[in-house]
Homo-oligomer: A and B are copies of this chain.
Amino acid sequence: MYELLFYLDIFGVIVFALSGALMAGRYQLDPFGVVVLASVTAVGGGTIRDVILQTPVFWVVKPYYLYVILATALLTIIIISKPKRIPKRFLLIADALGLALFAVVGTQKALHLGAPIPVAVVLGTITSIAGGMIRDVLCNVIPMILREEIYALAAILGGSLYVLLHWLGWSEISAMMVAVTAALTLRLAAIYWHLSLPAFHLIDLPSHDSNTDDANKQNSNNEESK
């Protein structure tokens, strides 16, 4: 079992490092900048999880995570040399994979360390969305949770489903595989068919001090109306 958990965790780190490196490519960063952005994306969520749980941070204890990230970033730089080869979708899919994997792995780790069930699901969600959020905030891109359809839901589904199946007596391996698959399927479906839940939409009264926010809202509307 721990082997599977280990592989899922490493795979999550790789795909998030890849998404960070791809984002860095859009900003024409030098190789060291690419490595930094890939690292922040890959370990950001898990670091916050471990710090909140006050357990030793995973990559401090096991430095090989850093080598995996370094290798992923360098391979991304080397392999993707020709422009026009990587559509934007690739970044979205890497992010979706990381989201599904980390939601379940993060929930599992939190439960294992004795967190109550709702706290564990929240920590799984943090593990899965925080790295990508930091990546997007650093790049001054509006985070995916605000831009993309069914993002937080996929993460919450992954963690909750794992808890439910585990509670129903499923083996940990089956519970994890099914939960990861469900979260990933939901998120990929939302990407491909632009599925969305009914949005909570708030229009505010025009007021003399709302210039800034109107400008922001306009940007937001432009994005929605694409």
One complex includes copies of this chain to the number of 3
Chain A 194-214 near chain B by CB (<8 Å), digits 1 or 0? 001111111111011111110
Partner of A125, one of B36, B63, B76: B36
Interface size of A in residues (CB-CB distance below 8 Å)? 87
Closest residue of chain B to A117 (Cβ to Cβ) is B63
- CB contacts (< 8 Å) of A169 on chain B: these are none
Is the beta-carbon distance between B202 and A25 smaller than 8 angstroms? yes
- A176 interfacial by beta-carbon distance below 8 Å: no
- A35 interfacial by beta-carbon distance below 8 Å: yes
Is the beta-carbon distance between A24 and B210 smaller than 8 angstroms? no
- What are the 6 A-B residue pairs with the smallest beta carbon separation, nearest first? A25-B202, A30-B197, A83-B203, A32-B152, A28-B199, A32-B153
Is the beta-carbon distance between B146 and A29 smaller than 8 angstroms? yes
With A and B bound together, what is the CA distance between A159 and B102 in angstroms?
30
Point out residues on A near B: beta carbons under 8 Å. 21-22, 24-37, 39, 47, 51-54, 56-57, 59-60, 63, 66-67, 76-77, 80, 83-84, 86-89, 115-116, 118-119, 122-123, 125, 129, 133, 137-143, 145-147, 149-153, 156, 196-205, 207-213, 216-217, 220, 222-224, 226
Closest residue of chain B to A87 (Cβ to Cβ) is B205
Is the beta-carbon distance between A32 and B118 smaller than 8 angstroms? no
With A and B bound together, what is the CA distance between A50 and B151 in angstroms?
28
Partner of A29, one of B125, B200, B223: B200
With A and B bound together, what is the CA distance between A128 and B191 in angstroms?
36
Supposing A36-B129, A198-B30, A199-B30 touch, asked if A138 and B137 sit within 8 A by C-beta, the answer is yes
